[in-house]
DNA sequence: TTTTGGCACTTAATAGTTGACAGTGCCATT
DNA sequence: AATGGCACTGTCAACTATTAAGTGCCAAAA
């Protein structure tokens, strides 16, 4: 036998609970896995597992539920390599489609992931640290308004439609943009606002209403600070039994999913494959993986779900997906470099 | 007395229910509004109002709740002009700030609205009908990737980062963009994809891998079809008693708020100020107002909440807000035109 | 004719009771 | 070490008051 009995019982308990979402009793364990022991024996083992802290009981006469520690042990020692054919197939189809757009690739991947796992998948854009302004454009819309566009070296675009100040002409504004393009390109996003301030005296010579103008531009940069993340598959997660029956939990979950800063807070991990199993009453686990994007950027894909999730398939799926994607991006680069 | 007694009773019933979220009985009406009639009289009137269809009873021995018809009558005939000082003050501060950005104005306004009303406010971008491609930009990021940017005459920006096909150089791509700028500018968004197809033979002469390129561009245009709407104040709506106690309703609400197409379906109105009070079991009302933006565009602000909402303040607030905003945009234009 | 006090009636919500059930822990026995 | 047996415990669902809030209606008062 590959596992010692006690570990096997822990393994089965975790797996059965993941499947049924019900506390697991000794009898149901025997039934489901055809164990050759009496229920008393299993009970004794489960008791031991409980005192060791791997299992816990909702109440005296209920079955057992894996604890945080129990899940962690399961994830670390007890799961087996399985990548579902289904997900493998879907990812391969995606890759064969030879989509050129990076966003679209990530996008589709996240859709597939959350469909397969019934979890929410989060795509986090590359870290803004070190991000640099690449170019500034202005597109006049009519006499009264124009759209300013800012692009970073990571291909992130922010835009802002603003009213043209009464005393300014479009020519003056294009002049300002020209100056911005000359002086601000290459500046770190975090420094742009400060540097813009320094340019004010210079701008005064060209443009009458420069103050209003730079203010408008500054506003656009405030938005850069925001988290760039997209969520996929929110609906199916909300249909999970833990949230259907517990509207308090449901509201809490939504509060987190809808608030990027709260979400970001939970995604502390930065390592290759990080598993963050919900503490105490917080019934939420996050699995995150980094992914190497073209242009030396690093994105992150995070799966969010209840503590009771199918860690085995989820982890392998995520690993498989990021591997395949990185391979794809990598191959493209090598062909380009030859 | 301005209102006939029966109408007054309807008015009070609606207002008390809006305040307490509890079915309203004859006694509590007398207590709250110091009526000089006995409960029996009030009961008789309420009975009449029920047979007329303005009120309904959740069950025999409960108080009464306004029906759809009751709310509609209230909105049409019974409310009084009140604009809270608070909202007036906040909007004035916003206007005095002289923000130049249209987005930012709408943005802030919606924040204020949902804060004041505890409802979700939805900002809908201008209709895409008649929207026209204004310009195309390409920003090379590094050897392997570039970002394409598309701007419409309404100041809406879509972008897409894509991998540069192996056989293409950046020069080739800028050539394609040049052709796009020459041939596609002024084309309706809905026609761009078709017209791009027609350009393919022409492009073949310039670029080897034109197919992959145009595909990537086409993908960006598919996104244009998406609804442009932003939501504000979701959290506070979820805290309303109707959703706290009824997790079924809660999940339904979230399903609607998170799905732009479902939401759009409900926002049928197009008139100046449209009130759409939830039918039958659907406990949802929508109040929408058009708003004239600079550049002859029309946006829409919609407030979403439970049927039981404070129509009086909400309606006046919305009217006030859109008036002030339009005035602001208008003044700017006139000054510009002089 | 309108208003009112009184009364019987209805229903939901609350609390208490009970029995079945699923599970446990422990112990004497195998 | 494993097991069968047994007492024990907490939850859940069904049932039963009991209470509270409110109604409808009617005969009497204004």
pLDDT digits (tens, 9 = 90+) for A152-185: 888 888 888 888 776 677 787 888 888 888 889 9
Name the residue facing B258 among A146, A155, A234 (closest C-beta). A234
Question: Mean pLDDT across the stretch A258-275?
Answer: 77
Alpha helical stretches, state H, A186-310 = 189-204, 210-224, 234-238, 241-244, 247-257, 260-266
Does B153 sit within 8 Å of A215, measured CB to CB? no
Q: How many Å apart are CA A57 and CA A29, to the nearest integer?
A: 15
Q: Please classify residue B141 by burial: count the beta carbons closer than 10 Å to its beta carbon, then call 0-12 exposed, 13-18 middle and 19+ buried.
A: buried
* Distance in Å, residue A117 CA to nucleotide C15 C1': 43
Report the pLDDT value the prediction gives residue B269, as an integer from 0 to 100.
Answer: 63
Report the pLDDT value the prediction gives residue A1, as an integer from 0 to 100.
Answer: 46
- Domain ranges in chain B? 5-78, 85-127+230-337, 133-226
The answer to whether the CB of B312 falls within 8 A of the CB of B322 is no
Does B258 sit within 8 Å of A166, measured CB to CB? no
Q: How many Å apart are CA B137 and CA B148, to the nearest integer?
A: 6
- Pick the residue with more confidence: A175 or A307? A307
CA angle B19, B20, B22 (to 5 degrees): 135
Name the residue facing A295 among B142, B159, B255 (closest C-beta). B142
Report pLDDT digits (tens) over B252-275: 899 999 988 888 888 876 666 677
Q: How many Å apart are CA B209 and CA A23, to the nearest integer?
A: 58
Low-confidence ranges of chain B (pLDDT < 50): 1, 338
Report the pLDDT value the prediction gives residue B244, as an integer from 0 to 100.
Answer: 85
CA angle B270, B273, B278 (to 5 degrees): 85
Annotation: CATH topology of B133-226: Enolase-like; domain 1 (3.30.390)
For residue A291, report the phi and psi dihedrals to the nearest 5 degrees: -145, 130
User: What is the token pair recorded at A15?
Assistant: 């797996």
Would you mind telling me the total number of residues written for chain A in this entry?
A: 338
Does B161 sit within 8 Å of A141, measured CB to CB? no
The reply to whether domains A5-78 and A133-226 share a CATH topology is: no
Q: How many Å apart are CA A315 and CA A138, to the nearest integer?
A: 45
The reported pTM is 0.88
- Pick the residue with more confidence: A183 or A226? A183
Query: Which nucleotide is closest, CA of B40 to its C1'?
Result: C4
- Pick the residue with more confidence: A82 or B335? A82
Q: Does A102 touch chain B if contact means CB atoms closer than 8 Å?
A: yes
Report the pLDDT value the prediction gives residue A171, as an integer from 0 to 100.
Answer: 80
User: What is the token pair recorded at A260?
Assistant: 């990027």
Element (H, E) at B161: strand B157-163
Q: CATH says A5-78 is which class?
A: mainly alpha
pLDDT at A335 over 70: no
Annotation: CATH topology of A85-127+230-337: Beta-Lactamase (3.30.450)
């Amino acid at each position: 036998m590959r596992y010692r009995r006690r570990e096997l019982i822990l393994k089965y308990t975790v797996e059965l609970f993941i499947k049924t979402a019900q506390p697991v009793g000794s009898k149901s364990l025997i039934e489901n896995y055809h164990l050759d022991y009496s229920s008393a024996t299993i009970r004794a083992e489960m008791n031991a597992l409980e005192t060791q802290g791997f299992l816990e009981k909702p109440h005296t006469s209920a079955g057992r539920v894996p604890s945080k520690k129990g899940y962690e042990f399961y994830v670390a020692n007890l799961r087996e390599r399985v990548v579902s054919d289904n997900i493998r197939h879907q990812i391969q189809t995606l890759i064969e489609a030879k989509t050129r757009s990076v966003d679209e690739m990530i996008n589709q991947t996240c859709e597939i992931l959350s469909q397969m796992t019934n979890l929410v998948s989060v795509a986090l854009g590359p870290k803004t640290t070190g991000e640099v302004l690449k170019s500034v454009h202005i597109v006049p819309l009519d006499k009264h308004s124009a759209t300013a566009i800012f692009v970073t070296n990571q291909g992130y675009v922010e835009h802002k439609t603003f009213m043209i100040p009464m005393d300014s002409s479009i020519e003056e504004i294009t002049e300002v943009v020209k100056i911005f393009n000359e002086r601000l390109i290459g500046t770190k996003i975090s420094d742009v606002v400060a540097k813009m301030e320094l340019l004010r005296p210079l701008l005064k010579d060209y443009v009458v209403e420069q103050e209003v103008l730079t203010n408008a531009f500054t506003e656009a940069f405030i938005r850069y600070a925001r988290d760039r993340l997209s969520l996929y598959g929110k609906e199916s997660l909300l249909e999970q039994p833990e949230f259907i029956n517990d509207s308090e939990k449901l509201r809490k979950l939504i509060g987190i999913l809808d608030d990027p800063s709260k979400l970001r807070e939970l995604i502390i991990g930065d390592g290759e494959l990080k598993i963050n199993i919900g503490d105490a009453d917080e019934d939420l686990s996050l699995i995150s993986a980094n992914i190497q994007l073209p242009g030396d950027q690093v994105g992150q894909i995070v799966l969010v779900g209840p503590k009771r999730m199918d860690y085995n398939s989820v982890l392998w799926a995520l690993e498989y997906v990021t591997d395949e994607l990185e391979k794809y991006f990598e191959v493209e680069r090598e062909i380009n470099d030859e």
